[in-house]
């Protein structure tokens, strides 16, 4: 058996280059997870996902508890077998979606009572039930159930919310079934308040989790505030455990967060954008639905080595989106995931080489260029 | 350069095993084409399509003349480059869709005037324009523009319709630009009337096309009538040219048509069914949306070697369809195309071995079994 471990391989100022080991293999950090909400990366086969370079997948407790249910997944051999993903899997706690997606959610000290957004049925999610679900799913990294304090909360609201999350973290740690090669992350809350973030980290450190989620960010506070919070939060987090910035973010958010010492990221942006027509490129982004691409024989990004850019023109992708062909979503998602994974690979390389500042300067210079001019 | 050719490699009674050579490679017959209506096989990457064993793709003149327009495709280097399909491509004439999909279609001796189903714009399709479009697309096999005589037509209606199609066939032959490795097929009409089918074949034979389409079948006449028509039609078609049964059909339709001497098939059934939840299996078919599959750990078909059946359970596919995940359509389409291609491969093998009758008997016996019992 393999112990759950985090190895710090190199640093460049506050940025870290590491490796996480799980019962289902390793992943290199900083990493960007493949978003597989309902046990599938939308519009992608597993082979296509692997080819982008993704090593860690994230699945969603809220979606899977409703359909097909964690008991069903367990009966079928767990998530790895169910979705044919042999690599490591992280699951979120379900808390964020219970509060944002479900109908009529009531929170109290025990947990949350909510209605399914699918069929209106009534469900309960407590710290203990969330741990049980994630165990049934056979997730390699279990996230604690917490309350994502909403953006704009007062110090008093944020303190009350964070302290409940810390009481839940204690219940989660108690309910977590320890298994070789499996880990559990506590989640730092405290909104934009330095004293609360510090208090939260102290509580989680005492519970000795295998890693830290940074919660309550990338929810509308803006990049400047987000980076400020990281600046006063991260120095208090112990260095020998991985740090996961939940739900973040744009390429620029990720670059800045890596500079501040974040190791793990997840975001629906590359997959969701891939289905709606937004493509990420070295020079920023583009909307493939725009008529300027209709006769453009060039790939999305001349510098990109993904199968979409190697084989298809902007004109073809534009045609697929105009005709609402599924292949359009497949090819653009493939490109976007490749873009994100390539960004992570380059960030890892720059940290190893000790040249992260130069890399980041180049990154912003390229992004500022904007898309190439349309064909004549 | 490579000449367009049909080589008859073996026969078993009326069934034929052949090979068609084009400027973009060869394909083995009897064959089933990959349906790529709007220059994409719906919900499939080109690699996935190739892996099913498909060698010939069929694209649609009607759809492509509206979007992105044949002139645009030509400017971008032709269909092969546009859609990244390096193998042979056949295009239909657009006639069938003009009559079935467009609004306000008026037919006269010159051709058809119709409204786009996309934006209501007015278009004209004549024999000459259809040939021009297919040349601009760079199709390897150009189909003549014809009128698909509707099911239930009287002898007089069928005669009038067929004779116009034969006058159009003459105009098509004249308008076709001959190129090395490219061919043009005439289309046999005449509804269910033996004398009209014979008259049609005679007219087409004089025009010396590179192959024959069999039109006006698989449009609701029923399998018995369809096979009857083939029985009295095929003996009049010259043996040294490929025969393409347009828009056909179910696995059973294909098996019976191969026995009667058909070489080429196309149908939306495996791809469309793949998006709506119907799966083709050795023992008939199944609807993956059915609750009986919800906890079934078995693959769609225990005997199938496709990537879907090798890696995924019925329970997982059921989950994807319930959640309306795109991957469900992708995986089931992949399976269905593999099923059809495997059927063709087995038919080719049986003809080579001279054991087609035995193969067909086994085929029907298996189909009659019906799906396996649900899990307990």
The pLDDT of residue A24: 98
How many helices (H) and strands (E) are present in chain B, helices listed first?
15, 17
Nearest to B46 by CA among B90, B83, B92, B89: B83
**Does B68 contact A320 at a Cβ distance shorter than 8 Å?**
no
Nearest to A262 by CA among A271, A275, A253: A253
State yes or no: is B119 an active-site residue: no
What is d(CA B267, CA B159) in angstroms, rounded to the nearest whole number? Answer: 26
Structure tokens at B115: 């409204």
Backbone angles phi, psi at B312, to 5 degrees: -135, 145
B199: preceding bond cis by omega (within 30 degrees): no
- β-pair type (B122-125, B243-245): unpaired
Local confidence band at A102 (pLDDT 50, 70, 90 cut-offs) = confident
pLDDT tens digits for range A140-199: 999 999 999 999 999 999 999 999 999 999 999 999 999 999 999 999 999 999 999 999
Structure tokens at B223: 């399998």
Interface-testing mutation among A36, A37, A44, A45, with chain B (most B C-beta atoms within 10 A): A45
**Does B330 contact A45 at a Cβ distance shorter than 8 Å?**
yes
pLDDT tens digits for range B115-163: 999 999 999 999 999 999 999 999 999 999 999 999 999 999 999 999 9
Nearest to B190 by CA among B216, B209, B169: B216
Backbone angles phi, psi at A219, to 5 degrees: -125, 30
**Does B77 contact A297 at a Cβ distance shorter than 8 Å?**
yes
- Is B297 part of the contact surface with chain A (CB cutoff 8 Å)? yes
pLDDT tens digits for range B74-107: 999 999 999 999 999 999 999 899 888 877 889 9
Using a CB-CB distance cutoff of 8 angstroms, which residues of chain B are in contact with residue A307?
Answer: 45
What is d(CA B88, CA B211) in angstroms, rounded to the nearest whole number? Answer: 15
Q: What is the CA radius of gyration of chain B?
A: 21
**Does A83 contact B39 at a Cβ distance shorter than 8 Å?**
no
Question: Residues 6 or more apart from A116 whose CB is under 8 A from it?
Answer: A66, A102, A103, A122, A123
User: Which of B42, B295, B315 shows the shortest C-beta gap to A325?
Assistant: B42
For the annotated catalytic residues of A, the residue numbers are 92, 266
The pLDDT of residue A104: 82
Specify the residue for token string 């019925």.
B314
Using a CB-CB distance cutoff of 8 angstroms, which residues of chain B are in contact with residue A37?
Answer: none
- Is A375 part of the contact surface with chain B (CB cutoff 8 Å)? no
Local confidence band at A81 (pLDDT 50, 70, 90 cut-offs) = very high
The pLDDT of residue A71: 98
pLDDT tens digits for range B153-198: 999 999 999 999 999 999 999 999 999 999 999 999 999 999 999 9
Bridge partners (DSSP) listed for residue A265: A32, A245
**Does B316 contact A38 at a Cβ distance shorter than 8 Å?**
no
**Does B48 contact A45 at a Cβ distance shorter than 8 Å?**
yes
Write down the H helix ranges in chain A: 46-51, 61-66, 70-75, 79-83, 95-100, 127-137, 155-175, 194-207, 223-233, 251-259, 269-276, 307-311, 314-322, 326-353, 356-369
The pLDDT of residue A199: 98
For residue A45, give the chain B residue with the closest CA.
Answer: B327
What is d(CA B100, CA B232) in angstroms, rounded to the nearest whole number? Answer: 27
Taking only residues 25 to 84 of chain A, the set having a beta carbon closer than 8 angstroms to any beta carbon of chain B reads 38-46, 48, 63, 67-68, 72, 75-77, 82-84
Are the C-beta atoms of B188 and B212 separated by less than 8 Å? yes
The pLDDT of residue A11: 98
- Is B311 part of the contact surface with chain A (CB cutoff 8 Å)? yes
**Does B75 contact A316 at a Cβ distance shorter than 8 Å?**
no
Are the C-beta atoms of A299 and A281 separated by less than 8 Å? no
């Amino acid at each position: 058996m393999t112990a759950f471990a985090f190895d710090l391989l190199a640093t460049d100022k506050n940025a870290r280059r590491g490796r996480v080991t799980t019962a289902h293999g390793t992943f290199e950090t900083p990493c960007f997870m493949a978003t597989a909400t309902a046990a599938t990366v939308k519009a992608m086969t597993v082979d296509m996902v692997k080819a982008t370079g993704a090593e860690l997948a994230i699945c969603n407790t809220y979606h899977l508890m409703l359909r097909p249910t964690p008991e069903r997944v367990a009966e079928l051999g767990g998530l790895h077998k169910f979705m044919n993903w042999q690599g490591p899997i992280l699951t979120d706690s379900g808390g964020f979606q219970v509060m944002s997606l479900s109908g009529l959610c009531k929170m109290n000290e025990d947990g949350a009572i909510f209605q399914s957004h699918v069929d209106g049925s009534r469900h309960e999610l407590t710290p203990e039930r969330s741990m049980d679900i994630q165990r049934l799913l056979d997730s390699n990294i279990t996230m604690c159930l917490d309350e994502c304090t909403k953006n704009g909360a007062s110090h008093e609201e944020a303190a009350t919310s964070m302290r409940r999350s810390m009481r839940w973290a204690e219940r989660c740690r108690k309910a977590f079934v320890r298994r070789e090669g499996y880990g559990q992350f506590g989640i730092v809350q405290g909104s934009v308040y330095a004293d609360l973030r510090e208090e939260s980290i102290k509580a989680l450190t005492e519970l000795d989790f295998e890693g830290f989620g940074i919660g309550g960010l990338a929810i509308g506070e803006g990049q400047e505030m987000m980076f400020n919070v990281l600046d006063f939060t991260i120095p208090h987090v112990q260095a020998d455990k991985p740090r996961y910035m939940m739900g973040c973010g744009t390429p620029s958010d990720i670059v800045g967060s890596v500079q501040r010492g974040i190791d793990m990221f997840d975001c629906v942006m590359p997959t969701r954008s891939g289905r709606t027509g937004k493509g990420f490129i070295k020079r920023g982004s583009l909307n493939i639905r725009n008529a300027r691409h209709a006769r453009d024989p060039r790939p999305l990004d001349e510098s990109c080595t993904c199968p979409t850019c190697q084989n298809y023109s902007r004109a073809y992708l534009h045609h697929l989106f105009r005709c609402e062909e599924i292949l359009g979503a497949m090819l653009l998602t493939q490109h976007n995931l490749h873009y994100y994974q390539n960004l992570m690979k380059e960030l890892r390389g720059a940290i190893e080489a000790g040249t992260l500042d130069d890399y980041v300067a180049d990154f912003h210079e390229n992004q500022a260029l904007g898309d190439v001019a349309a064909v004549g």
